[in-house]
A and B are shown apart, each in its own frame.
Chain A
């Protein structure tokens, strides 16, 4: 994964991390769910649970809905998974331990986030059915509202680094982490991060009121891929949060990559726990809050970060 390593090695490494991350999200989700439900926590069952559930989905055969859009339906989970991989590939494990460090890393990340709405819309639109389509429309409203605050919160971290490269953003946090320097940043990022990965309280496109919304018609491999892609997106959001706000590889005693891992998992636990404890938010409330509260707060955050810099 050093700069001179071949693209193939980098791609394999990102894929491996993604796979482990998805499994981790599935286990975390089950553990937190069992604790919240007051059910017994059986370690063996919880560890094997995701694998068994995945195997069950892999043996299912399914013919699809009436007149569905086959390319779109197949492409959507692959696209979402690919976007998660792009976002994760930008997260450095160490000063020169990163799959890709383009000078415009932040813009690449933004483009990946913007394409999430294409993936979700395609996923909801393709099955030619009511609830998925409804979820797709909903996510369009959600996405157009969350993108500005999400990117502004992330953009503020680029100011102290004076660079759009993610590695530089982490490097600039050597003395003081952004979570201290920009106290507004991380909470904003996490709230909107839930919206980006449509998880928990902001799982509006796949919500229970739509009988799973965009995935209501998914079965078998398609369902497995979509669930995995959602979890991968959550992993990418958590890892990028660790890099952007929690100082990435910086930390005492432990080697850098371990710190990245610890911080990412900590953020993952917060995100997953929020999914089990916070009720679904109304789309209208979310849109109003995003435009009227989150954007001004994120702008304030950027202005303060800029003022400190000057």
Chain B
């Protein structure tokens, strides 16, 4: 008993392992928690002690969220950060609710948990056997024949053509909607043959459907949404763009196994101001120094040629298509703006494209003075052309199935990360379109 107390006392000062789910409007705030020394964001719920639910989670994701919750080992608790409103998953019974800074609440809830002042969260879903099977079949192995029927409630794997011309078994699985490398809400039905994606289909965007939270542009994108309807200072837009690109890079680095470099980039993203293009170029040199990142993303997830046309944003420009709404704006033309381009259109080109654009944006922001971009109903958001009818993610999602098929899983993840999808932005546009149709 004394040993146990000593362990609890020691554990109370450890950084709290948190599995964070970033709902509507919470992407930047949750990402910032990576820099906190008192918390440690983990990749799998099994590694977490606290489940942090931030922002609005659509009601359709209630069941996956409950499964994530039940996967946390005891002692565990849930911290609910953000709004309570219509169309959002109802708060779990025992969770802590915070509205402002969650770090203090998480740490104190965790201390209470360890000290026994707080009960460990009971499971939400029933712990039931999906399909009883023991004792069925001639040898009790679950069914008839050598391999039985459907033990565990799962049928035998099916054969599928393999890329070497063989027919081997394939494994259908669903990844998401809280897979840490994907944007929250993105779920894929993937058929895997070993390490290779045979086939992928994308689930519908949960933020669009009925019973999803009210959406507003999240802080990092607010300037761009405003720019659709009113004049916004070029310097503000470009600084926001550079920060958004750097925040993307921070996540991408985590996905490529470089979390500490990711934290460095995140610090830079919070710090940069107009005219800091040089520090972004330094960063690009640091990342390019060993060539390993470039080598491991070269040729991955190529979107080029006809595919890249009409997509817009860094994805198109990394493939050499000079699609940029800023080029049509007199304020930008006066600054001598010309889009940065790369040629190959693979994941390596996309991260170099975004770094180059971030540096360019910071330079532009320094020179822009008080110039304002005129509202023309279309604006170049960090992900590409944003209009009241269309967002970059809406145009990118249909590309996914053919793009992912045939890739190894690591490359599929690298591809998805490099496309920088944002289901919230897509849903914001889709709802406006739906609203316009109804109205």
Q: Is the CB of A278 within 8 A of B152?
A: no
Q: Is the CB of B409 within 8 A of A209?
A: yes
Query: Quick one: given A60-B73, A220-B73, A278-B292, are A209 and B194 in contact (CB under 8 Å)?
Result: no
A13-36 toward B: CB 8 Å interface, digit per residue (1/0)? 000000000000000000011101
Q: Which of A226-278 contact B (CB under 8 A)?
A: 276-278
Q: Is the CB of A134 within 8 A of B195?
A: yes
Q: Is the CB of B46 within 8 A of A223?
A: yes
Identify which of A48, A212, A217, A280 contacts B256 (C-beta below 8 A): A280
Cα A62 to Cα B46 in complex, Å, equals: 9
Q: Is the CB of A280 within 8 A of B257?
A: yes
Most buried by A among B4, B171, B258: B258
Q: Is the CB of B260 within 8 A of A33?
A: yes
Q: Is the CB of B257 within 8 A of A208?
A: yes
- New contact pairs (19) apart from A277-B290, A282-B296, CB-CB < 8 Å: A32-B260, A37-B263, A51-B10, A52-B10, A55-B10, A55-B14, A134-B192, A134-B195, A134-B409, A208-B256, A209-B410, A209-B413, A216-B43, A219-B47, A223-B47, A276-B260, A280-B256, A280-B258, A281-B295
Interface of B with A (CB < 8 Å)? 4, 6-8, 10-11, 13-15, 17, 35, 37, 43-44, 46-47, 49, 73-75, 114, 130, 152, 171, 173, 175, 179-181, 192, 194-195, 253-264, 267, 290, 292-293, 295-297, 300, 408-411, 413-414
Q: Is the CB of A59 within 8 A of B47?
A: no
Most buried by A among B267, B296, B300, B414: B296
Q: State the Cβ distance, A76 to closest chain B Cβ, in Å.
A: 15
Q: State the Cβ distance, A117 to closest chain B Cβ, in Å.
A: 16
Q: Which residues on A sit within 8 Å (CB–CB) of B292?
A: 201, 278-279, 281
Q: Is the CB of B409 within 8 A of A203?
A: no
Q: Is the CB of B258 within 8 A of A279?
A: yes
Q: State the Cβ distance, B97 to closest chain A Cβ, in Å.
A: 24
Q: Which residues on A sit within 8 Å (CB–CB) of B173?
A: 130
Q: Is the CB of B290 within 8 A of A209?
A: no
Q: Is the CB of A280 within 8 A of B410?
A: yes
Q: State the Cβ distance, B255 to closest chain A Cβ, in Å.
A: 6
Identify which of B17, B255, B295, B300 contacts A56 (C-beta below 8 A): B17
Q: Which residues on A sit within 8 Å (CB–CB) of B6?
A: 55
Q: Which residues on B sit within 8 Å (CB–CB) of A215?
A: 44
Identify which of B17, B130, B192, B295 contacts A285 (C-beta below 8 A): B295
Complex: chain B residue closest to A40, CB-CB: B37
Cα A59 to Cα B5 in complex, Å, equals: 9
Q: Which residues on A sit within 8 Å (CB–CB) of B258?
A: 276-280
Q: State the Cβ distance, A220 to closest chain B Cβ, in Å.
A: 6
Q: Is the CB of A48 within 8 A of B13?
A: yes
In the assembled complex, 8 residue pairs joining A and B whose CB atoms fall closer than 8 Å, in A order, are A33-B260, A37-B261, A56-B10, A60-B49, A208-B180, A208-B181, A278-B290, A283-B195
Cα A212 to Cα B6 in complex, Å, equals: 29
Query: Quick one: given A130-B171, A279-B256, are A209 and B181 in contact (CB under 8 Å)?
Result: yes
Q: Which residues on A sit within 8 Å (CB–CB) of B17?
A: 56
Q: Which residues on B sit within 8 Å (CB–CB) of A210?
A: 409-410
Q: Is the CB of A56 within 8 A of B11?
A: yes
Cα A277 to Cα B256 in complex, Å, equals: 11
Q: Which residues on A sit within 8 Å (CB–CB) of B171?
A: 130
Q: Which residues on B sit within 8 Å (CB–CB) of A278?
A: 258, 290, 292
Q: Is the CB of B192 within 8 A of A200?
A: no
Complex: chain A residue closest to B413, CB-CB: A209
Identify which of B181, B195, B259, B267 contacts A211 (C-beta below 8 A): B181
Q: Is the CB of A61 within 8 A of B414?
A: no
Q: Is the CB of B264 within 8 A of A37?
A: yes
Q: Which residues on A sit within 8 Å (CB–CB) of B411?
A: 282, 284
Q: Is the CB of A62 within 8 A of B256?
A: no
Q: Is the CB of A59 within 8 A of B8?
A: yes
Complex: chain A residue closest to B76, CB-CB: A60
Identify which of B254, B260, B263, B293 contacts A208 (C-beta below 8 A): B254
Q: Which of A42-88 contact B (CB under 8 A)?
A: 45, 48-49, 51-53, 55-56, 58-62, 66-67
Q: Which 7 A-B pairs have the closest CB atoms?
A: A52-B14, A55-B10, A280-B257, A37-B263, A219-B73, A56-B11, A279-B293
Complex: chain A residue closest to B179, CB-CB: A211
Q: Which residues on B sit within 8 Å (CB–CB) of A92?
A: none
Cα A48 to Cα B12 in complex, Å, equals: 12
Cα A49 to Cα B35 in complex, Å, equals: 16
Q: Which residues on A sit within 8 Å (CB–CB) of B296?
A: 279-282, 285
Q: Is the CB of A38 within 8 A of B75?
A: no
Q: Which residues on B sit within 8 Å (CB–CB) of A34?
A: 260
Cα A280 to Cα B252 in complex, Å, equals: 12
Q: State the Cβ distance, B162 to closest chain A Cβ, in Å.
A: 14
Q: Which residues on A sit within 8 Å (CB–CB) of B13?
A: 48, 52
Complex: chain B residue closest to A282, CB-CB: B296
Q: Which residues on A sit within 8 Å (CB–CB) of B300?
A: 282
Q: Which residues on A sit within 8 Å (CB–CB) of B194?
A: 137
Q: Is the CB of B293 within 8 A of A211?
A: no
Q: Is the CB of B257 within 8 A of A211?
A: no
Q: Which residues on B sit within 8 Å (CB–CB) of A201?
A: 257, 292
Q: Which residues on A sit within 8 Å (CB–CB) of B15?
A: 49, 52-53
Is the CB of A108 closer than 8 A to any CB of chain B? no
Q: Is the CB of B410 within 8 A of A207?
A: yes
